[in-house]
A and B are shown apart, each in its own frame.
Chain A
Amino acid sequence: MMRGLMLLGAALFAAGCMEVEQTSGASAKTPGLSVKRDTPAWNNEPLAHGPKWIKGDRASWEGEIKNRQLTQNEDHRINP
């Protein structure tokens, strides 16, 4: 009897470990629920020490990113 109660207690204790926070699992396909809209990268202020672009100007941000990409070509960095 006692052993059975102990086993039951242990099982209930172990089941408690499974308790995790549950957030809404409602489908995004449900009307009114959808992914949050992300802010485009170019709509951010450039950092004080980093690449500079005009906030909101996609072309200037893409220009900065392209310059950054081209630095990956070490053949051009070594033999400019």
Chain B
Amino acid sequence: MARMKFLCDAERCIECNGCVTACKNENEVPWGVNRRRVVTINDGVVGAEKSISVACMHCSDAPCMAVCPVDCFYRTDDGVVLHDKDLCIGCGYCFYACPFGAPQFPQAGAFGLRGKMDKCTFCAGGPEPDRSEAEFKKYGRNRLSEGKLPACAEMCSTKALLGGDGDVISDIYRERVARRGNKGAEAWGWGSAYGQPPKGKS
């Protein structure tokens, strides 16, 4: 059984924001809502700067689900955490509970009035009929129902952001790390991120 997850390789992320743009374009996310964003630490410090792309991590034991007073969250058979906007009351408890800041609230009126919660759906839409206009308007595109992976992961140019079944993407990452070698904290740069060239080649 698949457990859909995201995995971001901090050695490879170049802070291009391609994933953010892909998400916004694919799901026609309104202004002020960022389902995905790139976080950078030690910005500008050579060798210490690291970036990571963050969105809903589709937790196996999701705190947002636990705190929601109207139980609008549910988990699909693939392990994707989704919510029903017809039930959401926009209270914001999920925002306080989420360690990743994934839940977003669009401005729904004057004076900063909040609308219903919006978050990454792993490009799996919502409870409306799959590929329907209602689903697209409320939740964005349903790529999983088309046999595709989330647009952010598929668009990532350096393949820093991996999306899919936790077992499969962690295998890809593990193989990548083994190729880099065990260098520890000093590992950074092109050779580290993409592995060393095979012996005999420059």
Contacts and interface: CB of A to CB of B under 8 A. Distances in A.
13 contacts: A20-B108, A25-B70, A35-B73, A35-B74, A36-B127, A38-B76, A41-B78, A41-B145, A44-B145, A53-B147, A68-B164, A70-B168, A72-B164
Nearest to B161: A72
Q: How many interface residues does chain A have, given as a range?
A: 35 or more
B88 to A, nearest CB: 9
Interface of A: 14, 17-20, 23-29, 33-41, 43-44, 46-47, 50-53, 58, 61-62, 64-66, 68-70, 72-75
B84 interface: yes
B39 interface: no
Interface string B57-90: 0000000000001111110111000111011010
Nearest to A61: B147
Given A35-B72, A35-B74, A47-B146, A73 B172 contact: yes
A20 B130 contact: no
Contact of A38 (B87, B127, B146, B168): B127
B103 to A, nearest CB: 16
B124 interface: yes
A15 B124 CA distance: 38
B31 to A, nearest CB: 18
B148 A68 contact: yes
Contacts of B145: 39, 41, 44
Contact of A65 (B71, B149, B159, B179): B149
A18 B107 CA distance: 12
A36 B172 contact: no
3 A-B pairs with the lowest CB-CB distances in the bound complex, closest first: A51-B147, A69-B164, A36-B127
A44 B131 contact: yes
Most chain B CB within 10 A, of A19, A44, A46, A58, is at A44
